[in-house]
Structures are given as structure tokens and as C-alpha cells.
Amino acid sequence: MQLPQFDYHAPDTLEKALALKGNLGGMAPVLAGGTDLIVHLKQRLFSPAAVISLRNIKSLRGIETRADAIVIRAATPLAEIARDTSIQEHFPALVKAVNSIGATGIQAFRGTIGGNLCLQPRCILYNQSRFWRTGKGSCHRTGGKDCLALPGSESCHSVCSADTVPVLAAFSGQLTIAGSGGVRQIPVSDFFTGKGESPFKITPDEMVTEIRLPLPWAPASSAYHRLGMRSAVDFPLANAAATAIMQDGKVETFRLVISSAGPAPVVLKEAEALIRGNKPDGAMIDQVRLMARRMAEGVVVENSSISKDYRIKMLGVMTARAVKDVLGFAGPDR
């Protein structure tokens, strides 16, 4: 498949890139590593007037360790994140998530953290060639007024399939977003709209520039688990991340985020209320698994390469594994 025609811009400063975004808006998507955008262009899922490359903007790359946080700039390559010793020490689940993305070639040469964060939600009825889609009709994302996976739905149910998203949300990550109106911050967990046709809370003239991960105030445990058809290349079909700080035998802080269910990650606050402030016990694992499955039953639709029922079951399994890890339990999965 060939790329469509478009104007190509490669500014060398963030200010120039933002000026272009201010003028072109949604007609000019941002190109970081391109592992998602280029495929969409070839499939004619997007037909932009222009593309704005970030490859020459040095200020958008790098990792900075501060007194209270680690700041990762949005165009930082995935491999650089996985190699960083401070991230390995404080956020090992992020390293695991990064190493789960695509394959070595993507991690080492193309993929960026901002690109994975802003990965367009996926649907097996949407992420196809234009020729294939002509036999299915239009959906919310291609100019139609219905969802092919859930007829009658008022919005798109594409799936947030980024490996880093639940981990960044579990670590209470904050995004810096820059645009013509200035700079603002937003939690990673609030960045998603829950609508596949417009998945991010970002205006056409804005772009994500930084991800800030607050350093834990005490030794913390973290975990990331995902289900994929293969050990490399595939997007996750179910994934979950958890973090916890234990003191004096009790759970002082706990956060659990489930993704690959619908268009947005889900912070399972019900599980936090169950676990936080209490001494861990094995019954919590089964309770959290059931919470995850109940959540998934209200969100998951038939738009993946595996069945809805199996995805719901495995979202519970991935969640239980993540919680077991951070609470220090071992045992069989069910």
C-alpha cells in the first residue's frame, strides 16, 4: 500500500511545530516514530493535508530526574526509557510495558513514549484496508452514524491498546500539553474521553510534550500483565497495571488500572477502596478479579481477534496477576 500525498514539515523547534499546529490543526497530525500513523495513512484511515514531523526537535527528547519526579519528554525513544537506570529503579512496570511494545526494531529505532500514549484506539472492523472496509459500510470513525461492533451505539467502541497507558496511569502520571493557548497539565487517567472517534482530550492545535511520573514517597511495588496472541508484534488484547506501597503489614497506597477493554483505561477505584489501608489477604484477589470482570462486561464488545467472553475472562486474569504481584501473593490463576 502506498502513502497518500501530503505536505511534509520538519520544524527544528517546538515553537515552530506549535505554530504549524495552530495554522493547520487537525489537518496535520504529528509524526513521532510513525509506527501507528504511517500504517493508518497507507490504509487511508487518515488523509491529512500535511504531516508535522518531530524528528528534528531535540527539546522533545530526553529523560530528566528531578527531586520529586522523573520527566520523560514525549518524543523520547522507547529503548532509551527501558535503559534508564532511574526508571528501572522506580518504575520497573514501565520498563516491562515498553519491552512489550511491537518488536525490538520498533522499540530501538522508531517507537516513542508519546506515540504509544497517543496510539489510536483499535477495532478489527476499522483497522483494515480501504478495499476491505467498502464491504462493511461506514462507522463513527469513517463518517457514518453507527458502530459496526455494537449497532445502535452513539459512539465508537474501539479499544485503547497501548501498553504504556495503564502503567502511566497507575503511576499517577501527569501530561504536559502545549498549544497556541499556552501550556496545561492533565493526569494520564483523565486524558481519555471514552469515545473511540475522538479518544483524547486534546484540541487540534495541541500536542503532548512531557510525561511526569512522581517519585514514590516510600519503596513501592508495581506490576504489568498483558495478553497477546504472540510474544511480540501484537497489540495487547487485555492488560492491567497496579502499584502499591506497603508499611507495617498494611497497604498504604494502591492503584489499579485496566485497559484494552474499551476506548479508555479504567481506574478501578472500587478495588482501591477494598485494599487500601488494610492488611492483604487472599480473598482480595478473588474480589478484585470479579470487580474487573463486572467492569469488562459493561464495556467489552465483539471487535477483537478473540471473543468477547474470553476477553472479559482474561481481563479478570490479568488484573488478578497484577494485584498478586504488588501485594506479594503467589498462586494459580483462575
Give the tens place of pLDDT for each residue, 81-99.
999 999 999 999 999 999 9
Q: What is the pLDDT of residue 329?
A: 83
Q: Are residues 1 and 24 in the same domain?
A: yes
Q: Are residues 310 and 241 in the same domain?
A: yes
pTM: 0.95
Quick check: is 98 in a domain?
A: yes
Q: Are residues 209 and 79 in the same domain?
A: yes
Q: Are residues 69 and 49 in the same domain?
A: no
Question: Domain residues for 8?
Answer: 1-53
Quick check: is 7 in a domain?
A: yes
Q: Are residues 311 and 209 in the same domain?
A: no
Residues 6+ apart with CB under 8 A from 184: 176, 177
Spell out, as residue ranges, where the chain has pLDDT lower than 50.
Answer: none
- Cα–Cα distance between 309 and 302 in angstroms, integer? 9
Q: What is the pLDDT of residue 330?
A: 62
Quick check: is 154 in a domain?
A: no
Residues 6+ apart with CB under 8 A from 289: 316, 317, 319, 320, 334
Q: What is the pLDDT of residue 232?
A: 72
Q: What is the pLDDT of residue 241?
A: 98
Residue 179 β-bridge partners: 182
Q: Are residues 75 and 210 in the same domain?
A: yes
Q: What is the pLDDT of residue 334?
A: 53
Q: Are residues 75 and 202 in the same domain?
A: yes
Q: What is the pLDDT of residue 105?
A: 74
* Residue position matching grid coordinates 482474561: 314
Number of structural domains the chain divides into: 3
Q: What is the pLDDT of residue 102?
A: 82
* Residue position matching grid coordinates 474470553: 310
Q: Are residues 78 and 179 in the same domain?
A: yes
Q: Are residues 301 and 165 in the same domain?
A: no
Q: Can you tell me whether residue 169 is helix, strand or coil?
A: helix
CA atoms within 13 A on the CB side of 115: 26
What order do you get walking across the sheet with 238-247 strand by strand?
A: 221-227, 238-247, 250-259, 266-267
